[in-house]
Structure 1
Amino acid sequence: MSLSREASPNPGLRRWASRLLLVLACASVVATSEGASDDVVSAPYTSAPLSLTTEAPRLTRPINVKVTVPKAPSRTAEAELTVEVKARWAPADPSQTTQPWMRVSLSRAGESYAWPSHSVVLEAGVEVRAQTIAYLDPSCELGTECEWATELVVEVQPDAGAGTVELEWTGVARARVVNSSDLPKGMAVSVSEP
């Protein structure tokens, strides 16, 4: 019994497919090695207690994210900063039932562009949490340190009736080396206020 030409594999096609698989396998190895290193995570940094009022409804706090290494590799780093704000609304008149909104956002220091903000509704006497994330660009050259300056903006609805928002924020940063799977020995990440 003989096989028809369509049923038998074409040796040229088989060679071409084998080469293509080899090229794809090599490309995946290169892509994996050119990705990023594992993340290094900072210790959480918590602010001192803060407050804002409906009369002064906006608060801006500078936050620095710093990556340090004992020896200076010729690589770049990128990071992301996650900030969680815990807030409690206290209306000036305890019988007031208004539930104002609170919005939190992060931006690069001195720039008007902000990463997407997050809004929550405040309720008298109840702790509410809002979280925002900033993706910090991968152009920070690792000398012995590199740093990103950001600003946290917290806003409360100004026309909600008199009241105060007591709050504090906690920031955690993750950083990684770009285009390398190797972490420099002793690399550390920190979050602080200047």
Structure 2
Amino acid sequence: MSLSREASPNPGLRRWATRLTLLLACASVVATSEGTSGDVVSEPYTSAPLTLTTEAPRLTRPITVKVTVPKAPSRTAEAELTVHVKARWTPADPTQTTQPWMRVSLSRAGESFAWPAHSVVLEAGAEVPAQTIAYLDPSCEMGASCKWATNLTVQVQPDATPGTVELEWKASARAKVIGLSDTPRGMGITVSEP
């Protein structure tokens, strides 16, 4: 019975392979350590009550997200805007059982680009929630402030039976600075209607 014996690898080659592995691991840590700062979250902004009708089935409201930093880093920032809408459908004829749809979307102000819309079915007398999210461009150069202009559009089914939709929306945002591992001191974010 013969045993085959494998030649042991060259010890010098093994040391170089180990060093190369450690070097690559260190390089990956350095490459990912620049990353982004922690999130800064805004206080929620709540709109005044609004009304839509099947005769005037669409409304658009401008929303501004603004990041401020007392001592501005020479970096860019990115943000995420989340809008929650609460709607209550009241048909003009209380015996009507039609359930119209309502669509909520966000778009860049002055542009045709829009993030995906969210649709819900309204039910008479019930409060129906809807939510939409926008990931705002990470190309906002940080100065004393950085802001994004967006539009919230709410639309109720235009060919629905006559009725009204009472709604209220609440928005909040979060932002971070790209290329910094720490959040800049005093960084703040607000959501408002201009």
Question: Structure 1 length normalisation: TM-score?
Answer: 0.93
Residue 78 of structure 1 aligns to which amino acid in structure 2? E
The reply to whether residue 31 of structure 1 matches residue 31 of structure 2 is: yes
Aligned to 2:117: 117
Aligned to 1:5: 6
Q: Give 1:27 deviation, angstroms.
A: 2.7
Residue 49 of structure 2 aligns to which amino acid in structure 1? P
SS in 2 for 1:21: helix
Aligned to 2:75: 75
Matches of 2:50 and 2:126, distance apart in 1: 16
The reply to whether residue 127 of structure 1 matches residue 127 of structure 2 is: yes
Matches of 2:73 and 2:55, distance apart in 1: 49
SS in 1 for 2:26: helix
Runs of at least 5 residues in structure 1 that lack an aligned partner in the other structure: none
Relative to structure 1, the CA distance from residue 13 to residue 149 in structure 2 (aligned partners, 3 Å threshold; closer, same or farther) is: same
Matches of 2:140 and 2:131, distance apart in 1: 25
Residue 130 of structure 2 aligns to which amino acid in structure 1? A
The reply to whether residue 164 of structure 1 matches residue 164 of structure 2 is: yes
Matches of 1:103 and 1:27, distance apart in 2: 47
SS in 1 for 2:173: strand
Aligned to 2:64: 64
Question: Structure 2 length normalisation: TM-score?
Answer: 0.93
Matches of 2:12 and 2:4, distance apart in 1: 18
The reply to whether residue 184 of structure 1 matches residue 155 of structure 2 is: no
Residue 56 of structure 1 aligns to which amino acid in structure 2? A
Q: State the Cα RMSD in Å.
A: 1.8
Residue 42 of structure 2 aligns to which amino acid in structure 1? S
Relative to structure 1, the CA distance from residue 14 to residue 43 in structure 2 (aligned partners, 3 Å threshold; closer, same or farther) is: same
Aligned to 2:97: 97
Matches of 2:168 and 2:12, distance apart in 1: 68
Q: Give 1:17 deviation, angstroms.
A: 3.2
The reply to whether residue 148 of structure 1 matches residue 148 of structure 2 is: yes
SS in 2 for 1:29: helix
SS in 2 for 1:181: coil
Aligned to 2:45: 45
Relative to structure 1, the CA distance from residue 12 to residue 57 in structure 2 (aligned partners, 3 Å threshold; closer, same or farther) is: farther
Runs of at least 5 residues in structure 2 that lack an aligned partner in the other structure: none
Q: Give 1:13 deviation, angstroms.
A: 5.0
Residue 55 of structure 1 aligns to which amino acid in structure 2? E
SS in 1 for 2:106: strand
Aligned to 1:88: 88
Q: Give 1:66 deviation, angstroms.
A: 0.2
Aligned length: 193
Q: Give 1:28 deviation, angstroms.
A: 2.6
Share of identical aligned residues, percent? 79
